[in-house]
Chains A and B, each alone.
Chain A
Amino acid sequence: MIEAYLERASTYAGDIDILFSGVFWIVAVWFVAAEGVLFYFCFRYRKQEGVAAKYVTGEEKSYKKFISVPHYLILVFDIFIIAGAILVWYNIKQRLPENPDLTVGIISQQWAWTFIHPGADGELHTADDIKTIDELHLMENTTYLYELESLDVLHSFSVPVFRLKQDAIPGRKIVGWFTPTKTGEWDIQCTEICGIGHGLMPARVHIRSAYDHEQWLEENTPAEAGQALAAASNP
């Protein structure tokens, strides 16, 4: 259902959408049933001349089952929802991909995002890293790890098209992953209130095909970093 409003641009976006739809239909059945019975009772048992109300304590066996049976049914449905939720959660938040292709650094502060992309060598924290403000540049169909940090207050890194959200906590490094699957350009939000500029902290994610991403890399590698790297590889 979410996909009607928002594209899916990561491998696990579909999982969350399916989980949402699954929960939606389970819940919808219960909701419609409960509201249906409620409205039916309101209509059926409205005050009528000469009709007195029944005396039911609700503790008789014949009546008690109307409460206890739905009670157990809810437990069964709960187990399904729990299982689905934990599966999705495990995949997105607990598991890390075994062979990630690249790692990006994400640093949040009041009120900007700094994204550190690995340069041509594919390693983070080397001389040819590319730092950008409020722009995250990713390659399609590549598994990324992200390292999320904050410099001052809490922020939250949210990419709706990935269905991904993770708070950044000062003094902590939080690791996670995503795999973009679609080229395009979308919003990155900060979803944890972070002061006056909370609403002025928009960033964009740019997802390109491998070829376009290479081009972007070449254009943006800092000149001195490129030379340093060249010098290092040709002693």
Chain B
Amino acid sequence: MSHAHKMSFWEKYVFSTDHKMIGLQYMFTGIAMAIIGGFFVYVFRMQLAFPGISVPGYGEVTPLAYNSLVTNHGTIMIFWFAMPVLIAAFGNILIPLMIGCDDMVFPRINRLSYQIFLLSALVLVASFFVPNGGFGGAWTAYPPLSAEAAYNATPLGAPMWLIAVALEFVAFLLGGINFITTMMNARAKGMTMYKIPIVLWLIVIASILFMLSVGPLIAGAVMLLFDQLLGTHFYNPGGGGDPLLWQHLFWFFGHPEVYVVLLPAMGIVADIMAVFARKKLFGYRTILYSVFATGILSFVVWAHHQFIAGIDPRMANLFTVTTLLISIPIAELCFVYIATLYGGSITFNTPMLWAISFMVEFLIGGVTGIFLGASGADIYFHDTYFVVAHFHYTFVPIAIIGFYAGITYWFPKIFGKMLDDKLGRIHFWGTIIPFNFIFIPLFVLGTAGQHRRIFNYEYFQDLALAEFYNLRVIATVSLLVMIAFQFVFVYNFVKSLRKKEKAPKNPWNANTLEWTADSPPPHGNWPELPVVYRGPYEYSHPDRESDWWPQHEPGPDPADPDYQSPSQNPQTT
């Protein structure tokens, strides 16, 4: 595996087929898009708290611009930040390293996947600059509003938005096929099904969920594009179409999509928790089976997004049952994570703080979902700020906390330097505390009946009260504080990269294979590909002197039924 020849800048950074470089490309594109999405949220939160002001750095927010900002904030954060960073970036970087092979099975398809993704991002960004701006029909793009320029007033923005989303789906389909095949086929010798790190299982299951759920929406997107550009009537009730069809196509994808981004984040958290609690995961198979159950159930709950959208009311009962049933495997996952901490020896450094805060915050998001899944209560809560607060309490832990947990944990491996722990903690507290102050007021506003996607509540007498404005201002100011603290991370990132001192191969004493490669791993990862002897979470085994037992170290497997405890080893507990 010698790649001794000197590679040019273009070969190394732009047209690379190396999985780590492609992962980084995804990550930095995702971060760049997140900055745009973050700027959008800054603009419209300012408008909501101080209606009518000229927002510094943007100007006055018109209703048309407001819709576009909200729509693209949602679209970007889910499709161009959460997905590329959590699945594509971590998936690309981690899958070959953790299963012990030299690259993805189809490196060139992998490169193509990123290039299509980049193209989709460019199309989306370009759509903000066309006449009348970007699409403003919400990220769900319900027709007929999204289908006809006469209704949405963005004759170019809407099709560009749709094309960007469709391209992005194609990119992730290509990437997903690569992830799935790589993990199924390219595992190191000895890495059987139950010896794969949980994070990989979850990334791959997420890819499968994505692949299976997105198909109908791709067909639906083609139909919507024809409605927009050619004037067909797929979704136009006047011409014999049906707008509800799109809602079903969208949410048939849209709900599994929640799990598509949730699972990788949960996987990252699982690995971090095991390492820093020095504990074996509390029931590896329990996690796996819960995730299977979640994956299957996630396909039969979609219509809870549409309870009051005019679907047949009888169907709502069915979907209430399935929606509440999905709480069982998800709760079980949370219990397993909490139980993993039991009896541990927990180090609270930055990655672990992020991982634990993921659990703390995600629980809030999880339990508030019950209100919305219960059809009766959803009649009132649908499309209020309660929903907004709920899904931000799931998506912020997933996308932002999950990302920070992953990047702080794998930073030494990816970049070969250590992050500053003290700055990391400042950044952590500066993010987590304002985050709660943004969204708890929104729960209150939602309970009081404030509905979504309104650029100015002055027009609604019951909502234009002073006490509500106070809550909106609290949320906006907290947002500003949270954004400000992100600069601490940027500073830390840059400062750590410029450090002279190199990171050790395995700074956390972790078991999984990626820590046996150099930091950062060269093209080809290992001079000789590793072999696996045991599961990834054998921490603090009583028969060992040290509290870890790497996967690659030759020797017995304690999970083997024939495993004999060597009596000469004194018990360490």
Contacts and interface: CB of A to CB of B under 8 A. Distances in A.
A54 B307 CA distance: 47
Contacts of A2: 380, 447
Interface string A20-41: 1001101110110011011001
A205 B343 CA distance: 59
Given A38-B356, A170-B237, 10 more contacts: A6-B449, A41-B342, A42-B356, A52-B572, A58-B340, A82-B324, A84-B376, A94-B314, A171-B237, A193-B453
B119 interface: no
B149 to A, nearest CB: 11
Contact of A53 (B152, B278, B373): B278
B447 A1 contact: yes
Contacts of B331: 30, 70-71, 74
A52 B321 CA distance: 44
A56 B379 contact: no
8 contacts: A46-B346, A52-B345, A78-B325, A154-B145, A163-B379, A165-B382, A193-B452, A196-B136
Most buried by B among A53, A59, A200: A53
Given A85-B376, A86-B317, A193-B453, A45 B345 contact: yes
A59 B283 contact: yes
A147 interface: no
Interface string A68-89: 0011001100100110111111
B460 interface: yes
B476 interface: no
Contacts of B547: 52-53
B2 interface: no
Contacts of A183: none
Interface in B107-150: 136-138, 142-145
Interface string B335-359: 1101111111111100000001001
A192 B387 CA distance: 13
Nearest to A48: B345
A90 B376 CA distance: 8
Interface stretch (B208-216, B360-368, B501-509): B360-368
A38 B359 contact: yes
B403 to A, nearest CB: 21
B358 to A, nearest CB: 11
B371 interface: yes
Interface string B301-321: 000000111100110110011
A52 B540 contact: yes
Interface stretch (B26-34, B59-67, B185-193, B252-260): B59-67
Nearest to A160: B449
Contact of B282 (A52, A67, A75): A67
A12 to B, nearest CB: 9
Nearest to B369: A27
Contact of B145 (A16, A28, A195): A195
A56 B342 contact: yes
